[in-house]
Amino acid sequence: MTSAAAVFGLLQGIIRKYAENYRDLESEVEFHDSLGRSAADKIKNYYVWASFAEKALNKIGHNHVKTIRGSIETQNFFRFDNQDRNKLRNFFGTQDNFIIGFVFRNQLRKSVPNLLDGFKIFTQNNPDAKAKLLLHTHWSEGWDILKLLKEKNIERTDILTTYFCSSCNRYDIKPFEGQKIKCKFCNQNNSSETTNVKNGVDERQLNEIYNLMDVYCHPFTSGGQELPIQEAKLTELVTLVTNYSCGEDCCTDESGGLPLDWTEYREPGTQFIKATTSPISISSQIEKVYKMPEEEKRSKEKKSRQFVLENYSIEKIGKQFEDLIDSFSDVEFDYKKEQEIRNIHFEPDNSLPDKEWVESLYENILGHYSNYHLAHPYIGKVKDRANDIFISPYKLFSDTKWLFRANRSSFLETKSRKE
């Protein structure tokens, strides 16, 4: 089981890597040709996260590229029965409001200004809805939401957010009131702030937050999978999603979604095509859900959950990997590899220039510098001014803990690997 899980994790990692690299493929022909083509040709079983990327690669002749979505734990997110939903809404005082929700890391590729514009149009056209926009995000990074509200003349109290208390781990839903505020549950001063990657709600609490919503709206410029869309679907919400990039998969009728129109803009630098979502489309799709007959709405909401169970559940995605691995032919491995000897007591001569210093590690620890030179270019990189020298920390560091004590870590370029 452990090795199967490891293989699964590794494959998911590979897929994630390529999904990240190729999510913007369609917009960059040269990028396709230089990077995409060479990489795709060498990969026999090539999987991407979204059908958008599959179509883009198929279009330039890589017909072996297929989509396997990132798997999701489906047990954590579900719709409460009406009684519990009402109880929850009463608790936060939102029982009379039509709640539009968006769960996101406050990054610039999440289209917050567009959503605020769309929300404003909707509230002007539908005052009876008493609509509130619930932005489950951190207010101290990315978009300056408070400034946007002032600029767009939107009532601060119409925008709700999630506060999380790092002292008692409870959350509150209310308009933004600043950071490090007093927690109303445990009365601790300075303990409550908008939910963020350091202090945030757990899955059980997030499921409750989705259950406070009447519709889920996810406008973005582009993305690899956008997990909150699938979580929202699992809680049986109609999802409004920008009809671009991975969003194409989650805005269809069969997915329980509705598409948001967008127009193209180019990202400075990469020149990738990005989507800017139409506020009018956001407003009209919110309105469509708001005015949707109850029976039709429930049917669409149930479709939402079913779509994720069928296309993103661990059972379904795991099965795709099982079938893939089972389809491979048997391989003969030679297990009679000689044990390599390491000199773990070698003390490096720190007066050596960088290049010679690294070479001396290979020669004296591994005993054969040439065999490992350039062997693992992706794992570690030590640079001197004349040449790039690649070393393999897996090979080198696994047996030689002293390297970290040698106080030469400034040679290791970790910047490029920073997530």
CB of 166 to Zn ion, least distance (A): 8
CA pair distance 33, 75, nearest whole angstrom: 42
Between 190 and 371, whose beta carbon lies closer to Zn ion?
Answer: 190
CA pair distance 52, 67, nearest whole angstrom: 9
Between 192 and 255, whose beta carbon lies closer to Zn ion?
Answer: 192
CB of 186 to Zn ion, least distance (A): 3
242-245 contacts: CB < 8 A, separation 24 or more? 242/111, 242/218, 242/275, 242/277, 244/52, 244/275, 245/23, 245/24, 245/50, 245/52, 245/220, 245/221, 245/275
Between 171 and 362, whose beta carbon lies closer to Zn ion?
Answer: 171
Q: Which of 186, 325, 344, 374 binds Zn ion (CB under 5 A)?
A: 186
Task: Return the ∠ at Cα 85 (arms to 297 and 183), rounded to 5°.
Answer: 130
Read off the tokens for 20.
């990240």
CB of 89 to Zn ion, least distance (A): 21
Q: Does the footprint of Zn ion cover residue 181 (CB under 5 A)?
A: no
Between 185 and 369, whose beta carbon lies closer to Zn ion?
Answer: 185
Q: Does the footprint of Zn ion cover residue 168 (CB under 5 A)?
A: yes
Q: Does the footprint of Zn ion cover residue 183 (CB under 5 A)?
A: yes
CA pair distance 211, 115, nearest whole angstrom: 20
Stretch that binds Zn ion, among 85-93, 183-191, 215-223, 228-236 (CB under 5 A): 183-191
CA pair distance 114, 221, nearest whole angstrom: 11
Between 40 and 165, whose beta carbon lies closer to Zn ion?
Answer: 165
CB of 193 to Zn ion, least distance (A): 11
Between 167 and 276, whose beta carbon lies closer to Zn ion?
Answer: 167
**How far separated are the first and last CA of the chain, in Å rounded?**
29
DSSP assignment of 350-383 equals: TTS-HHHHHHHHIIIIIS-HHHHTTS-TTTEEEE
CA pair distance 302, 155, nearest whole angstrom: 33
Between 194 and 245, whose beta carbon lies closer to Zn ion?
Answer: 194
Residue type, 171: Y
**Which residues are CB-neighbours of 337 under 8 A, at least 6 positions away?**
none
Question: Nearest to residue 212, comparing CAs of 129, 347, 102, 75?
Answer: 102
Between 135 and 183, whose beta carbon lies closer to Zn ion?
Answer: 183
Stretch that binds Zn ion, among 181-189, 252-260, 294-302, 352-360 (CB under 5 A): 181-189
CB of 189 to Zn ion, least distance (A): 10
Q: Does the footprint of Zn ion cover residue 167 (CB under 5 A)?
A: yes
CB of 108 to Zn ion, least distance (A): 31
Question: Nearest to residue 21, comparing CAs of 64, 72, 65?
Answer: 65
CB of 80 to Zn ion, least distance (A): 24
CA pair distance 320, 314, nearest whole angstrom: 10
Q: Does the footprint of Zn ion cover residue 201 (CB under 5 A)?
A: no
Q: Does the footprint of Zn ion cover residue 185 (CB under 5 A)?
A: yes
Task: Return the ∠ at Cα 277 (arms to 251 and 233), rounded to 5°.
Answer: 30
- Torsion, Cα 171 176 180 186, to 10 degrees, reads -40
Between 201 and 389, whose beta carbon lies closer to Zn ion?
Answer: 201
Query: Phi/psi of residue 69, each to 5°?
Result: -75, 160
Between 54 and 193, whose beta carbon lies closer to Zn ion?
Answer: 193
CB of 136 to Zn ion, least distance (A): 18
* Contact flags string 123-162 toward Zn ion, x per CB under 5 A: ----------------------------------------
Stretch that binds Zn ion, among 23-31, 163-171, 194-202, 252-260 (CB under 5 A): 163-171
CB of 201 to Zn ion, least distance (A): 13
CB 36 within 8 Å of CB 46 = no
Half-sphere exposure of 81 (CA within 13 A, CB side): 1
Q: Is 271 left (phi over 0), alpha (psi -120 to 50) or beta?
A: left
* Contact flags string 253-272 toward Zn ion, x per CB under 5 A: --------------------
Between 167 and 360, whose beta carbon lies closer to Zn ion?
Answer: 167
CB of 28 to Zn ion, least distance (A): 48
CB of 25 to Zn ion, least distance (A): 46
Q: Does the footprint of Zn ion cover residue 411 (CB under 5 A)?
A: no
Q: Does the footprint of Zn ion cover residue 165 (CB under 5 A)?
A: yes
Q: Does the footprint of Zn ion cover residue 205 (CB under 5 A)?
A: no
Question: Nearest to residue 209, comparing CAs of 220, 198, 194?
Answer: 194
Residues that bind Zn ion (CB under 5 A): 165, 167-168, 183, 185-186
